[in-house]
């Protein structure tokens, strides 16, 4: 690893940290260290970093703002690539918007609304970034990324680059081609929006924000929705009907506000969260014969 670190350092690709706790980079504030943590300063430097990683046969994965992630207490072997400040470029050309992977969805939706462009109101409360949100087809309030995406610029594991259309991304509920078939990193995304009435757009966003504030735990670290909705049922309702709202294991608690959120009450660890997830799955299946699947991605070394 020392050889790789020196090589990357000499290339001045961006921030390099050894044994960096991932708790510092996830919205749940949980996660052990990454052997090597890299925050590339540009798309080009990300490409260079991945090339070096592949040449040295190191395991790697990319993260954004760390929402929808549960990192194990043992951390992550190999390299973590954070798509952050170096990939937060934004170009607004009328109703067509190009955003780098590191752009905050909340900030993007606010900027777009101020210009009177409609389509991203649903994203105003999603605490993720563009890259991760396109990767997993994030959504809320009856819409998702597939409704507004035109093209995604993707860097595949083998180092090749491609612009993929919405159709080529093969979106479905909270997933895409990049999860199902061909792993890759979303570098940039082009969104096709529509002109609308600015006051109406702002009102819809405010209503969405108020709904989230009233029904979801904003005051404690969490990863967003833990389970996929087993449609036509909703995971949160099943959890609540199973009598699990507020149930705790260690420092992890099913939010008293919403059954599909697990919060870190201050001293939670990944083991607590995983135990609570399994307890929920077992209880819901026992009561309703419905198998819940996690929406949150669980990564890292496992005991």
Q: How does pLDDT run along the chain (303 residues), one tens digit per residue?
A: 888 999 999 999 999 999 999 999 999 999 999 999 999 999 999 999 999 999 999 999 999 999 889 999 999 999 999 999 889 999 999 999 999 999 999 899 989 998 999 999 998 888 889 999 999 898 888 899 999 999 999 998 888 899 999 999 999 888 899 987 888 999 999 999 999 999 999 898 888 888 888 888 878 999 989 999 998 999 999 999 999 999 999 999 999 999 999 999 999 999 999 999 999 999 999 999 999 999 999 999 975
Contacts of 65 (CB under 8 A, 6+ apart): 27, 84, 104, 127, 128, 129, 132
Q: Are 121 and 91 in contact (CB under 8 A)?
A: no
Statement to judge: residues 206 and 105 lie in one domain:
yes
Q: Are 78 and 59 in contact (CB under 8 A)?
A: yes
Q: Are 188 and 153 in contact (CB under 8 A)?
A: yes
Q: Is 174 part of the annotated catalytic residue set?
A: yes
Among residues 62, 86, 110, which one ends one of the domains? 86
Q: Exposed (0-12), middle (13-18) or buried (19+): which is 228, by Cβ within 10 Å?
A: middle
The residue from 67, 104, 133, 174 that is catalytic is: 174
- Of 47, 297, 300, the residue nearest 179 (C-alpha): 297
Kindly report the CATH number assigned to the domain that includes residue 239: 3.90.78.10
Q: Is 188 part of the annotated catalytic residue set?
A: no
Among residues 199, 214, 229, which one ends one of the domains? 214
Among residues 214, 243, 277, which one ends one of the domains? 214
Kindly report the CATH number assigned to the domain that includes residue 79: 3.30.43.10
Q: Is 129 part of the annotated catalytic residue set?
A: no
Statement to judge: residues 207 and 96 lie in one domain:
yes
What is the domain extent for residue 277? 217-299
**Looking up tokens 């792993």, which residue turns up?**
183
pLDDT at 180: 77
């Amino acid at each position: 690893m020392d050889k790789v670190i020196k090589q990357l350092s000499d290339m001045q690709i961006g921030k390099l940290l050894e044994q960096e706790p991932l708790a510092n980079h996830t919205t749940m504030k949980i996660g052990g260290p990454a052997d090597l943590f890299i925050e590339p300063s540009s798309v080009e430097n990300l490409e260079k970093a991945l090339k070096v990683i592949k040449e040295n046969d190191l395991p790697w994965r990319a993260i954004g703002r760390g929402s929808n992630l549960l990192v194990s207490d043992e951390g992550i072997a190999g390299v973590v690539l954070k798509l952050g400040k170096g990939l937060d470029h934004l170009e607004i050309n009328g109703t067509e918007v190009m955003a780098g992977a590191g752009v905050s969805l909340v900030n993007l939706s606010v900027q777009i609304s101020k210009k009177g462009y409609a389509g991203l109101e649903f994203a105003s409360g999603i605490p993720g970034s563009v890259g991760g949100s396109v990767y997993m087809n994030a959504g809320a309030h009856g819409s998702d990324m597939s409704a507004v995406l035109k093209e995604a610029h993707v860097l595949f594991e083998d180092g090749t680059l491609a612009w993929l259309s919405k159709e080529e991304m093969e979106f479905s509920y909270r997933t895409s081609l990049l999860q199902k078939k061909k792993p890759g990193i979303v570098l940039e995304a082009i969104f096709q929006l529509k002109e609308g009435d600015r006051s109406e757009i702002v009102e819809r966003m405010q209503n969405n924000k108020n709904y989230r504030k009233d029904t979801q735990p904003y005051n404690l670290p969490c990863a967003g929705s833990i389970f996929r909705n087993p449609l036509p049922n909703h995971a949160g309702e099943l959890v609540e009907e199973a009598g699990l709202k507020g149930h705790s294991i260690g420092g992890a608690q099913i939010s008293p506000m919403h059954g599909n959120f697990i919060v870190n009450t201050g001293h939670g660890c990944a083991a607590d969260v995983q135990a609570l997830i399994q307890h929920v799955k077992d209880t819901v299946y026992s009561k309703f014969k419905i198998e819940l699947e996690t929406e949150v991605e669980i990564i890292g070394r496992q005991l």
